[in-house]
Homo-oligomer: A and B are copies of this chain.
Amino acid sequence: MLSKTCEYGIRATIFIALQSLMGMRTSLKYIAEEIDSPEAFTAKILQKLVRVKIIESSKGVNGGFNMASDRIKSTSVLDIVYAIDGYDICNRCVLGLSQCSSNNPCSVHHKFRPVREDLIALMNKTTVEEMALGIKDKLAILR
């Protein structure tokens, strides 16, 4: 459903949020270990999330990544997906027809629209906070 890049991005964000909730800043190295992702690749993904200000970074000794508490509350899965994969995911025709749209729908357009919309809505209302709190007890589950 989502690209690996997105999956890493979401998992990393959840982990950073968890650490931030405990008042801690987290290094890339630690993040990659905990979410079981390739370190350098994860770095690229986190850069993107920093640019759109979903997370914050600081360089140097004791640097790392953290997430402001208002961002933890307000950021949705969809925000992360958009930041990483772009906005196109949702607009693609099921049959890959270039002409297909609401005006000029393919033969299954209307049937698939509700499912698609449900998915978008779900991603839009699922926040980082919710995901983080959902696993607060058992930290080691992000891998």
Q: What is A's interface to B at a CB cutoff of 8 Å?
A: 1-2, 4, 7-8, 10-11, 14, 36, 77, 92, 94-99, 106-108, 111-112, 114-116, 118-119, 122, 126, 130-135, 141-143
| 17 A-B pairs (CB sep. < 8 Å) | A1-B1, A1-B116, A2-B96, A7-B96, A10-B95, A14-B107, A98-B143, A99-B143, A106-B134, A106-B141, A107-B131, A112-B122, A114-B118, A115-B118, A115-B122, A118-B118, A119-B119
- Residue of B whose beta carbon sits closest to that of A140: B99
- Residue of B whose beta carbon sits closest to that of A109: B134
Distance in Å: Cβ of A134 to nearest Cβ of chain B: 3
